[in-house]
């Protein structure tokens, strides 16, 4: 009998959840990660994970309302059925994490504590201090290690994914493995698999400084795109409202700071030089609370970001005339803050040198999350209402229950599969669930949901689909060898440039990367415009030209990080092109995508998924089209979050 195998690329929450689920079903997993999986970027998630719970339920909340909030939060760009399935699953996922030993904060009675988060008026966010992502990742890391000991998961840590191995043409394409490189020995080799799951996260590094880890280049997703996988909604990049600007990165200051009562303000008087605590309440402008009395500081991220940006850039009311506003927790009890938010307060203290329990924090928005990503499909579930519902009012009966499979069909082979058979995308690297803006504390949920729910789809595909008749291990070696040759040639070409000696800033990969990040941040984040994006497109084209002449300063055949970085830079430049192109083509404003020249949402033309396909043979390789979305569960409505004028 054929020995089937599954490859998971990426060991963050999505990749580990998938690994555990698949190993549990009896299929061996080869898990690839550029870092020891315990150091994956999921550790940086702070605030929490959303799920309907008993308390919120008795206040009128429901899984369905969580669904409605997520669709509204995403500004009606997400396909709706998968979101319904995810929010229905959320309470089960919390229970599972609880069983794994995640130290969720507890109420006085010993139950799981809850906090408020953006985009909701109900406490539905579960948390472990202010390092929830770390705690969740560790729980999954431990379960994965257990399967590793049992021989069901085989880890390849410090290995970099280079290319998906794909057989066939057109609709008959099938992914049968990967080519990867050992980042220590630099060995490049192919690995066969009956299914490949990409769980490689977002692409924050395209913007230079972001809240992302150094490994979040988007390189892996870009390589899949170049190999024929579609990339959807690249223009949808979340800029988090509250981060600490830094020389090497911007450090996240979690939304939970506002969830626990943090207030955002600037002095009412421009250029007020008084220390923040010397400014009386009446002379402080709590602009989010005044403009959004209903949600206050807990408006969604895109809105908070634009308001902060506008206060600083348009109104020049930033603290000390700089691009900074206060995030103030000093009115709260210091012990309470330590218990609920210790982890993030410590980050602020260590990196800024001030105690946020005593002095308001100085923050500014920073690139944070990629709503867009590899395009994925799904099998629709059973719920098909005759007509889409309006806004769901809390306390009213949801139009559908929480039975398994109302949103997505459980176990269907195509759930979260890309346009290539056998190639799946889980977690932040896919484009599902979050539409044009992600709600805080929904990311950890979508990662885990993908791994647990669609992991079963992968198992079924391997056992019942193409691999059942034709396992990867039975395929001729040539298709694998060809990919290895292709990747070896790429690496050799880059390494050979080191012999030419340094070429100066023009061809220095680190300089090109910095210029790319600065341009992308300036042109394609909080505020975009057609002319500015056009300018950015020209800049990125010139950087790509310079990249074609790039020179490494390290020719080492052992642990050569310059090679890995430079190779990823080439892939990031390609992503940058589609981020800009898609942003220029989407002539409307929706969620995180705000065009000054098209400030309104335009559902008739653009309530559609942007879909980029790569054709290496074409003069213009980026083919961008629009695909309809499944939006018949909830009707689009104006997204105001109760804004008042003035």
Which phi and psi (to 5°) does residue 110 adopt?
Answer: 90, 10
**Torsion-angle region of 170 (φ positive above 0: left; ψ -120 to 50: alpha; else: beta):** left
**According to CB under 8 A, which one of 55, 100, 379, 479 is a site residue for other proteins?**
100
Q: How near is the Cβ of 551 to other proteins at its closest, in Å?
A: 12
**Nearest alpha-carbon partner for 519 in 583, 462, 428:** 583
Site stretch for other proteins (CB under 8 A), options 124-132, 317-325, 464-472, 578-586: 124-132
Distance CA 481, CA 26 (A): 29
301 in active site: yes
- Select 158 or 286, whichever has its Cβ closest to other proteins: 158
Contact call for residue 95 and other proteins (CB under 8 A): yes
Distance CA 89, CA 79 (A): 17
Contact call for residue 148 and other proteins (CB under 8 A): yes
- Select 282 or 557, whichever has its Cβ closest to other proteins: 557
- The residue from 5, 301, 357, 409 that is catalytic is 301
E strand segments, 263-338: 263-267, 284-285, 325-328
Draw the binding track, 189-218, toward other proteins (x: CB under 8 A; -: no contact).
------------------------xxx---
Distance CA 505, CA 454 (A): 45
Draw the binding track, 20-49, toward other proteins (x: CB under 8 A; -: no contact).
xx--x----------xx-xxxx-xx-----
Cα–chain center distance at 636: 24
- Select 252 or 361, whichever has its Cβ closest to other proteins: 252
575-604 residues in contact with other proteins (CB under 8 A) are none
247-276 residues in contact with other proteins (CB under 8 A) are 247-249, 251-252
**Nearest alpha-carbon partner for 285 in 242, 315, 243:** 315
340-369 residues in contact with other proteins (CB under 8 A) are 343, 346-347, 349-353
Q: How near is the Cβ of 215 to other proteins at its closest, in Å?
A: 6
- Select 518 or 632, whichever has its Cβ closest to other proteins: 518
| 492: its two tokens | 């050799």
475-514 residues in contact with other proteins (CB under 8 A) are 502, 508, 510-511, 514
Size of the site for other proteins (CB under 8 A): 73
393-422 residues in contact with other proteins (CB under 8 A) are none
Q: How near is the Cβ of 592 to other proteins at its closest, in Å?
A: 23
**According to CB under 8 A, which one of 26, 59, 60, 111 is a site residue for other proteins?**
111
Three state DSSP letters for 194-253:
CEEEECCCCCHHHHCCCCCCCCCCCHHHHHHHHCCCCEECCCCEEEEEEEECCCCCCEEC
**According to CB under 8 A, which one of 382, 489, 556, 596 is a site residue for other proteins?**
556
276-335 residues in contact with other proteins (CB under 8 A) are none
| 371: its two tokens | 């709503």
**According to CB under 8 A, which one of 149, 172, 499, 604 is a site residue for other proteins?**
149
Cα–chain center distance at 132: 16
Q: How near is the Cβ of 361 to other proteins at its closest, in Å?
A: 14
Site stretch for other proteins (CB under 8 A), options 138-146, 412-420, 436-444, 632-640: 138-146
Distance CA 13, CA 4 (A): 23
Inter-helix orientation angle 530-547/561-585, to 10°: 150
What does 79-131 look like in DSSP terms, one character per residue?
A: -HHHHHHHHHHHHHHHHHHHHTT----B-TTSSBPEE--TT-SS--EE-STT-
First-to-final CA distance of the chain:
71
**According to CB under 8 A, which one of 558, 604, 628, 645 is a site residue for other proteins?**
558
Q: How near is the Cβ of 272 to other proteins at its closest, in Å?
A: 23
Site stretch for other proteins (CB under 8 A), options 146-154, 273-281, 374-382, 596-604: 146-154
195-198 and 6-9: which strand pairing? parallel
Write the CA distances from 127 to 117, 339, 340, 409, integer angstroms: 11, 11, 9, 29
Going by C-beta distance under 8 Å and a sequence separation of 6 or more, which residues neighbour residue 534?
584
Site stretch for other proteins (CB under 8 A), options 144-152, 187-195, 301-309, 426-434: 144-152
215-244 residues in contact with other proteins (CB under 8 A) are 215
**According to CB under 8 A, which one of 19, 134, 437, 454 is a site residue for other proteins?**
134
- Select 124 or 593, whichever has its Cβ closest to other proteins: 124
432-451 residues in contact with other proteins (CB under 8 A) are none
- Select 66 or 532, whichever has its Cβ closest to other proteins: 66
**According to CB under 8 A, which one of 110, 151, 386, 628 is a site residue for other proteins?**
110
173-192 residues in contact with other proteins (CB under 8 A) are 184
Q: How near is the Cβ of 158 to other proteins at its closest, in Å?
A: 8
Draw the binding track, 3-22, toward other proteins (x: CB under 8 A; -: no contact).
-----------------xx-
Distance CA 109, CA 88 (A): 26
In sign, the C-alpha dihedral spanning 606, 607, 608, 609 is positive
Distance CA 582, CA 436 (A): 13
Residue length, the chain? 646
Catalytic positions: 301
């Amino acid at each position: 009998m054929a020995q089937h195998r599954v490859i998971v690329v990426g060991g963050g929450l999505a990749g580990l959840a998938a690994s555990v689920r698949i190993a549990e079903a009896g299929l061996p997993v080869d898990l690839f990660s550029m870092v020891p999986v315990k150091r994956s970027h999921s550790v940086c998630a702070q605030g929490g994970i959303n799920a309907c719970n008993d308390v919120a339920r008795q206040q009128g909340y429901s899984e369905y309302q969580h669904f409605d909030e997520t669709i509204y939060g995403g500004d009606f760009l997400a396909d709706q059925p998968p979101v319904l399935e995810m929010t229905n699953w959320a309470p089960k996922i919390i229970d599972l994490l609880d069983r794994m030993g995640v130290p969720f904060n507890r109420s006085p009675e010993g139950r799981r504590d809850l906090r408020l988060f953006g985009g909701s008026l109900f406490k539905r966010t579960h948390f472990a201090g202010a390092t929830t992502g770390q705690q969740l990742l560790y729980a999954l890391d431990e379960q994965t290690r257990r399967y590793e000991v049992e021989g069901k998961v085989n880890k390849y840590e410090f290995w970099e994914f280079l290319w998906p191995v794909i057989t066939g043409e057109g609709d008959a394409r099938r992914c049968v493995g990967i080519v990867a490189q050992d980042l220590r020995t630099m060995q490049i080799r192919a690995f066969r698999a009956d299914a490949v799951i990409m769980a490689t996260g977002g692409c924050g590094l395209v913007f230079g400084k972001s809240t992302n880890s150094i490994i979040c280049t988007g390189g892996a997703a870009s390589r899949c795109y170049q190999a024929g996988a579609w990339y959807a909604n690249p223009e949808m990049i979340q800029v988090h409202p509250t981060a600490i600007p830094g020389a090497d990165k911007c450090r996240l200051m979690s939304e939970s700071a506002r969830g626990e009562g943090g207030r955002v303000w600037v002095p009412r008087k421009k250029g007020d030089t008084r220390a923040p605590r010397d400014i009386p309440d009446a002379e402080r402008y709590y602009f989010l609370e005044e403009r959004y009395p209903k949600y206050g500081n807990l408006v969604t991220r895109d809105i908070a970001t634009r308001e902060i940006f506008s206060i600083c850039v348009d109104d020049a009311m930033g603290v000390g005339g700089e691009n900074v506003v206060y995030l103030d927790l000093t009115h709260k009890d210091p012990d309470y803050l330590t218990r609920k938010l210790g982890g993030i307060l410590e980050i602020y203290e260590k990196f800024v040198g001030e105690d946020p329990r005593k002095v308001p924090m100085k923050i500014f928005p920073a690139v944070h999350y990629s709503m867009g990503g590899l395009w994925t499909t799904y099998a629709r579930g059973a719920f098909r209402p005759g007509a889409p519902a309006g806004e769901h009012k809390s306390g009213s009966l949801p139009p559908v229950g929480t039975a398994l499979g109302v949103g997505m069909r459980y176990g269907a082979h195509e759930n979260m599969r890309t346009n290539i058979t056998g190639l799946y995308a889980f977690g932040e690297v896919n484009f599902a669930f979050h539409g044009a803006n992600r709600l805080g504390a929904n990311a950890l949920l979508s990662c885990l949901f993908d791994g647990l729910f669609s992991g079963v789809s992968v198992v079924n595909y391997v056992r019942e689909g193409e691999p059942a008749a034709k396992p990867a291990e039975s395929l001729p070696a040539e298709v694998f060898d060809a990919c290895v040759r292709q990747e070896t040639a790429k690496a050799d070409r880059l390494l050979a440039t080191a012999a030419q000696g340094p070429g100066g800033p023009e061809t220095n990969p680190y300089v090109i990367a910095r210029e790319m990040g600065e341009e992308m941040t300036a042109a394609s984040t909080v505020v975009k415009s057609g002319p500015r994006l056009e300018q950015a497109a020209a800049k990125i084209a010139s950087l790509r030209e310079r990249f074609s002449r790039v020179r490494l300063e390290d020719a080492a055949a052992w642990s050569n990080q310059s090679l890995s970085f430079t190779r990823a830079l080439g892939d990031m430049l390609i992503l940058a092109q589609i981020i800009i192109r898609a942003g220029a083509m989407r002539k409307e404003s929706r969620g995180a995508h705000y065009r000054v020249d098209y400030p309104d949402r335009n559902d008739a033309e653009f309530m559609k998924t942007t879909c980029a396909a790569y054709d290496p043979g074409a003069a213009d390789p980026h083919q961008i089209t629009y695909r309809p979305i499944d939006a018949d569960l909830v009707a689009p409505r104006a997204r105001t979050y109760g804004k008042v004028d003035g």
